[in-house]
Structure 1
Amino acid sequence: MSLRAMCLCGKTSLDLHGSPVARANCHCSSCRSFYGTHIFSATAWESDAVRISDGLGQTFKHPEKQLTKTFCDVCGEVVFGTNRLGMRVVPNVLLARATDGALEPSLSPTMHLFYRQRVVDVLDDLPKYLDGWDGPTYVS
């Protein structure tokens, strides 16, 4: 797969190649505070599969954790983050915008992570891992 995703103003764009390593809705407190949302819906990619192709992204490093986020220096939208494993984490809002407003099945979330830390309940059929994807799942 090859996909070009752009920030809201269109000044910064990403080229994505291959397939994401993971597709998830994350409920962890780190993502919630770092990205400013109740649930961070994103895809994780190997770092060499995601490149800024246009514009200049500014990067902010979390003061305590192994997280960074790169954002458009014009509109301020986050175009990707980097997690502690070095993967590039691309918000699904960018992917939906690049695919005419709806995520393709190959990009849609397949799970919820860190559901134990959730601040809102989600009613869907995706597995809800209480912690990481190798741990126990939530049973209602």
Structure 2
Amino acid sequence: MSVPNTLQCLCGTVELSMRGAPAARANCHCRSCRDFYGTSVWSATAWAADQVTISRGSVSAFKHPAKRLTRHFCTVCGETMFGTNRLGMRVLPNSLVARACGGELPDALKPTMHLFYRHRLLDVQDALPKYLDGWDGPTAAL
């Protein structure tokens, strides 16, 4: 299965174009992502900002009140199209990619790690490394 070049929101109003490859592919368990994106695990890919562009429609943005996070969403259906992290990268939810690929992620975009696993709400049974904090720190004993 190939990586799609474009992704759409649920209503089709907004389309993103992607080029290249993501810098990181992860499942994030940190409190900031859980609270900001409203999910127990934020499964996403992080891209350089110039590799992901809005090719159709427009998005609205919500800036986190205390952290350097912004969520960009379709103004019609409300779906999160991408976030911007503290490094200025565009973080795309894996749910958009999976929908574009008939329900599955292409191997090239599947998560390669868990981040901030010490803050998890749910235990995850898989073979991916589970970094207790960021990817430069210790991993959880399995």
2:42 to 32, 40, 43: 40
1:125 to 124, 127, 136: 127
Please identify, of 95-104 and 114-123, the stretch whose mean Cα deviation from structure 2 is larger: 95-104
Aligned residues: 140
Do the aligned residues in 2 keep the contact of 1:2 with 1:18 (CA within 8 Å)?
no
Quote the residue 1:138 is aligned against: 140
Please identify runs of 4+ aligned residues in structure 1 that moved more than 3 A. none
RMSD: 0.9
Please show how residues 8-27 of structure 1 align to structure 2 within 5 Å.
8-27=10-29
Identity score, percent:
62
TM-score under structure 2 normalisation?
Answer: 0.96
Please show how residues 62-101 of structure 1 align to structure 2 within 5 Å.
62-101=64-103
Q: CA deviation at 1:100?
A: 2.1
Partner amino acid for 1:48? D
1:114 has 2:113 as partner: no
Q: CA deviation at 1:97?
A: 1.4
Do the aligned residues in 1 keep the contact of 2:4 with 2:97 (CA within 8 Å)?
no
Separation in 2 of the partners of 1:130 and 1:6? 33
Gaps of 5+ in 2: none
